[in-house]
Chains A and B, each alone.
Chain A
Amino acid sequence: MIEFNADYFDGRSAARRAVRVRASDTHLHVSGEDVEVAYRIQETTVNTPLARLQRVLTLPDGSELHTSDQAAIDALFGDRLPIATGLARLESRWSRALIALGAVALCTWAFMVFGVPLVARPLAALVPAGMERTVGREALASLDGTLCNPSTLAARDIEHLRRLLDRVLAGLDEVPDITLEARECKAIGANALALPGGTVIVTDALVGLDMSDEALSAVLAHEVGHVYRQHAMRMTVQTSLGALLIATVMGDAAAITSLAYTLPTALLNSGYSRTMEIEADEFAYERMRAAGLSPAALGDALEALMKSRTWGERTGEEKDENRDEKRDEKRDGEKGVGKANASGWTDYLSSHPAVEERIRRARSGG
C-alpha cells in the first residue's frame, strides 16, 4: 500500500492541514486534524512533474493535496502521464541537458550560417532604392564629417577613374546607379569603399599607390560587386535577423541585457563579410573578363594594398581609428552597417589571413 504525507487545502478556505494519505486500490484515504475523507483515485487529477516542485492532486470536490513525495505520486499516477514523466526525466539529467544544448547550438548555427543569408537576399531586394540611397547619403555625410576630407586629386585623375569605372560597367544589364567619389581619408589609408545606394569612394592614398589601370579597374569592379549584390542592405537585414533570433533564444532574459547579443552578432558579421568579399571578388573577375582585362589584376591590387598596410607609415594610430569605426557600426544600425561594408577592404587586409588566398585565386584566373 502506498502512503504519503501531504498538506490538505479544502478549496473553501486557506487553512492548511497536515494529513497522511493512504492509497487503496480505488481510493485515497485522507486523515489528519479535522479531516477524515476518501476520494476515488479515478476522479483525482494530478499536475505533471517538474524539478523538485510539489505535486498537486486536485480532488473531485475542489480540494487539493500538496506533497513533496515524488516517488509515491509517480507510483500512483506515473502511468497516466507517460510524456510528462519522460519530459521531467529529460530535464533532470545534465547529460540530457547537454544534448539539448548541442541541439540548440547546432540549430542556431545552421540558421545563422545558412538560413539568415538565404532569407536576407530577397528581403534586401524588397528595400526601396530610395531608402538605400538615403542610407548611403547619410553614411557619406558622416564619413565627410569625421574620417574624410575633400580630395586633393587633380580633376584629370578623377576623370580617369570614372572612365575606368565606365569600362567595367559596360555591358552590365540593370546597371546600378553608381557615383564615384574621391576623398582624402588619412585614417583609412589606401582604400575603396562601397556605400549602399551605389556610391563608390576611392581614397587619394589608393590613387597614390600608382597601381596599373588594370589593377585600379579590378578594385572598382570589386566595389561595384558590393553595390550590385546589395551587400550593405543584406548585412543590415542579416544583423537584424541574427539579433532577433538571439533575442528569442534569450527569451525571458531579454530584459537583462542587450549586451548579450552584441558579441555573437559581431562574431557572425565577420563571417558574413568574408562571404561577401568573395562574392564581390567573383563579380570583379567576371567584369574584368567582360572588359577584356585580366582577373589576375585583382591579385596585384590586393597585394599592393596589403603592402601599403604592412610597410606604410600608418601604424597604431590608423588601426585605432578603424576600431572606432567598427564600434560606430554597432552603435548606429543601418548607417553603421553601411560603414561596416564600407570598411571592408581595410578590415579584410588588416585582420584576415584569407587575403593571401584571395590573391592566389585571382592570379590563377579567378
Chain B
Amino acid sequence: MSFPYPDADAASSGGVRPNATRHTVKFTGQGGEYFRIWIVNLALTIVTLGIYSAWAKVRRKRYFYGNTLIDGTPFDYQGNPLAILKGRIIAALLLSAGSFGARSSTILAILFTVIQVVGFPWLVVRSLAFNARNSAFRGLRFRFDGQWKTLLRIYALWGLATAFTLGALYPSLKARLVQFRMAHHAWGATRADIGLLSREFYRIYLIGAGLFAVGLVAVGLVASVVGVLSMSAATVSGFLYFFVVGLFYLLCVLEWAYLNTRITNTVWNTLELGPVRFESRLRARELASIYVLNAIAVAFTLGLAVPWATMNVMRYRAQSTDILVYGGLEAFVGVNTPDESPTGEAIADLLDFDIGL
C-alpha cells in the first residue's frame, strides 16, 4: 500500500489510529422526478428507433450518481453518449455478423465463437474502464487499469474448473472476478485494495445452499399438509397450486437476497481505499421485502411504478453503507499528470459496451 499521508500510514500500520469520520451514503433521488426522466427517455428512445437510448443511459446514470452523496458532495457521471452509441452499434454489428456467419459456414461459426470468447473479457474491461474514467467525485476521476488478459485467464482457469466440478468451485470464480474488478479501481492516484475473498464466499454459498434446502423441505411440507386438508374438494386445487408456487417464489427471492446482501457486505467490508474503509450493513430480509413490494407494485401498474421501485432499492442500498475516513477526504490527490497514458485513456473514452462482470 502506498499513499503519501502520515495519518493514513498510521492507520494501516497499526500505529496511532486517528479517529475516523463516519459518513453515511445519502440517496436523494425522488420517484416522481425520476419517473419524468424515465418516461421521456422511453418515449424518445422509441421515437428515434433506439438511437436515443445512449443519451437515455447517460441521463439515467447521471441521475443516480448525482443523487448519491457522501458528506454532502454528489458523485458525477460524465459519460459521452456518442461513445456509448458507437459501442452499441459495433456490438450490434458484431452480433449480427456472428449469427449470419455462423449460419453460412462452420469455419466462420468457429471463428466467431473464438472471437466472442476472447472478445468478451476485452469488452468487459473496456466497459469498466469507460465507466470508471467517466465517474468522478470531488473533482477527481476514477480509473480502472485491469488487463483483459488477466480476466481471460480467470475465466479460462476458474470458469473451466467451475464447470468440471459442476459448480462446486463457483465461489472461487466469483471471488476472483470481484477481486479483479475492485482491486484494479483507483480514485485519483489512490488504488483500491481488497483482501482474499474465497474463504468467506464459500461460507456464504454453503449456508445459502443449506437454507435453500431447508426452505424447499418446508415448502414441500406445507404443500402436502394443505393438500391433505383439501383433498375432498377438487376446486381447491387451483388455490393450492397458486399457494405453493407463491411460496416457492418467495423462497427464491429470500435466497437471492441472502446471497446478494452477504456478498455485497463482505466485498465492501473488505475493501480499502487508502485511508478510507467501508461498512455495508445490508439485510437479506429487508432487501427481500423491498423487492417483493416493488414486484407487486410494478405488476399492478403495468410497469409504471418502475421508477419508484428503482429509487426504493437505491435508497436502501445507500443508507446501508457507511464510509469511514481516517484523516480527511481532502488528503486524496489526483494523478499528477492528467495525460499520463493518453492512448489508454483515449481508448477508454472512445467506446463503451454495456457489459458487466
Contact = CB atoms under 8 A, between A and B. Distances in A.
A259 B298 contact: yes
B237 A324 contact: yes
A252 B60 contact: yes
A114 interface: no
Given A50-B37, A51-B37, A14 B295 contact: no
Nearest to A64: B139
Interface in A60-102: 62-64, 66, 87, 90-94, 96-97, 100-101
Contacts of A12: 333-334
Interface string A308-329: 0000000011001001100100
A50 B63 contact: yes
A317 B233 CA distance: 9
A263 B299 contact: yes
A11 B140 contact: yes
Given A16-B330, A259-B298, A260-B298, A53 B66 contact: yes
Nearest to B330: A15
Interface stretch (B40-48, B146-154, B177-185, B216-224): B40-48
A358 to B, nearest CB: 28
Contact of A50 (B59, B302, B330): B59
Interface size range on A against B: 35 or more
Interface in A263-320: 263-264, 316-317, 320
A271 to B, nearest CB: 15
B235 A246 contact: no
Nearest to A61: B338
Contact of A103 (B46, B291, B299): B46
A14 to B, nearest CB: 4
B309 A104 contact: no
Nearest to A316: B235
Nearest to B55: A87
A54 B295 contact: no
B74 A54 contact: yes
A50 B64 CA distance: 11
Contacts of B43: 100-101, 103-104, 107
B37 to A, nearest CB: 5
Nearest to A107: B46
A249 B331 contact: no
Contacts of B330: 13-16
Interface in B290-313: 291, 294-296, 298-300, 302-304, 306, 309-310, 313
Contacts of A263: 299-300, 302
Contacts of A13: 140, 188, 330-334
Interface string B316-354: 000000000000011111100010000000000000000
Contacts of B86: none
Contacts of A87: 40
Interface size range on B against A: 35 or more
B234 interface: yes
Nearest to B39: A100
B306 A256 contact: yes
A54 B306 contact: no
Contacts of A256: 291, 294-295, 298, 306, 309-310, 313
B60 to A, nearest CB: 7
Given A50-B37, A90-B40, A103-B46, A10 B299 contact: no
A253 interface: yes
B269 interface: no
A223 to B, nearest CB: 27
Contacts of A96: 36, 40
Nearest to B62: A50
Given A252-B60, A256-B295, A257-B294, A51 B235 contact: no
Contacts of A257: 291, 294-295, 298-299
Contacts of A249: 42, 303
A96 B39 CA distance: 10
A334 to B, nearest CB: 19
A107 B48 CA distance: 12
Contacts of B313: 256
A47 B81 CA distance: 13
Interface in A223-252: 246, 249-252
A14 B238 contact: no
A157 B332 CA distance: 89
Interface in B268-306: 291, 294-296, 298-300, 302-304, 306
Contacts of A104: 39, 42-43, 46
B167 to A, nearest CB: 22
B295 A317 contact: no
Contacts of A246: 303
A320 B235 contact: yes
Contacts of A64: 139
Given A260-B299, A320-B234, A253 B37 contact: no
B333 A56 contact: no
A52 interface: yes
Contact of A91 (B36, B188, B294, B309): B36
Contacts of A51: 33-34, 37, 63, 66
Contacts of B300: 263
A331 to B, nearest CB: 8
Nearest to A254: B306
B162 interface: no
A10 B237 contact: no
Given A13-B188, A100-B36, 15 more contacts: A14-B138, A50-B59, A53-B62, A91-B36, A91-B37, A96-B40, A251-B42, A253-B309, A253-B310, A257-B295, A259-B296, A259-B298, A260-B299, A260-B306, A324-B241
Interface of B: 32-40, 42-44, 46-47, 59-60, 62-63, 66-67, 73-74, 76, 78, 137-140, 188, 234-235, 237-238, 241-242, 291, 294-296, 298-300, 302-304, 306, 309-310, 313, 329-334, 338
7 contacts: A53-B62, A56-B78, A96-B40, A100-B44, A250-B298, A257-B294, A259-B295
